[in-house]
Amino acid sequence: MKLQNSSVVAKRKLHCYLYYLASKELPAKTHSENLKLAQSWGFRVSEHTKIAHSAAEIYDFINYWSTERENLPFDIDGIVIKVNDLKLQDLLGYTAKSPRWATSYKFKAEQVQTKLLSID
């Protein structure tokens, strides 16, 4: 992507998905509402999101995508779980490295075996 020739970059057919809006004043009161607005402005936003109302719903979502992820047109190695309410996000704040209102769940790494047939 750091090429000087933009025509070469354009041929790569890269897609970008917006996952967060940052501003001192946002148009909506929740993360999900702001992403829907961004989508209406023409930004790509993942359709594979869910507003969960309990820990059980979060676990169900994780379990579903742990197997279903192989059917996505792109690779994912986990899921990000976020607080939806922006006032609560602000109250929780940030650590030096990451927001306290978001955490990631990484799927188990895929394990495969290979058989070495010869060494030349």
Tens digit of each residue's pLDDT (9 = 90 or more) over 47-90 = 999 999 999 999 999 999 999 999 998 899 999 999 999 999 99
Rounded to whole angstroms, the Cα distance separating 70 from 76 reads 9
Query: Does the residue 113 lie in any domain?
Result: no
Query: Does the residue 96 lie in any domain?
Result: yes
Query: Does the residue 120 lie in any domain?
Result: no
pLDDT in tens, 7-43: 777 777 778 889 998 888 999 999 999 999 999 999 9
pLDDT at 3: 59
Rounded to whole angstroms, the Cα distance separating 29 from 102 reads 17
Specify whether the CB–CB gap between 89 and 101 falls below 8 A: yes
Query: Does the residue 98 lie in any domain?
Result: yes
Residue 43: CB atoms within 10 A of its CB come to 13
Q: Based on the structure, what is the number of domains in the chain?
A: 1
Whole-model pTM above 0.85? no
Query: Does the residue 118 lie in any domain?
Result: no
Q: Is the pLDDT of residue 119 over 60?
A: yes
pLDDT at 79: 96
pLDDT at 2: 60
Residue 89: CB atoms within 10 A of its CB come to 18
Q: What SS3 class is residue 102? A: strand
Query: Does the residue 89 lie in any domain?
Result: yes
pLDDT at 11: 79
The domain in which residue 74 lies consists of: 7-106
Q: Which CATH number goes with the domain that contains 65?
A: 3.30.1490.70
Query: Does the residue 70 lie in any domain?
Result: yes
Which residue, 81, 94, 74, 18, is CA-closest to 52? 81
44-82: string of b/e by CB count within 10 Å (b at 16+)?
Answer: ebeeebeeeeeeeeeeebeeebeeebeeeeeeeeebeeb
Q: Is the pLDDT of residue 1 over 60?
A: no
Query: Does the residue 62 lie in any domain?
Result: yes
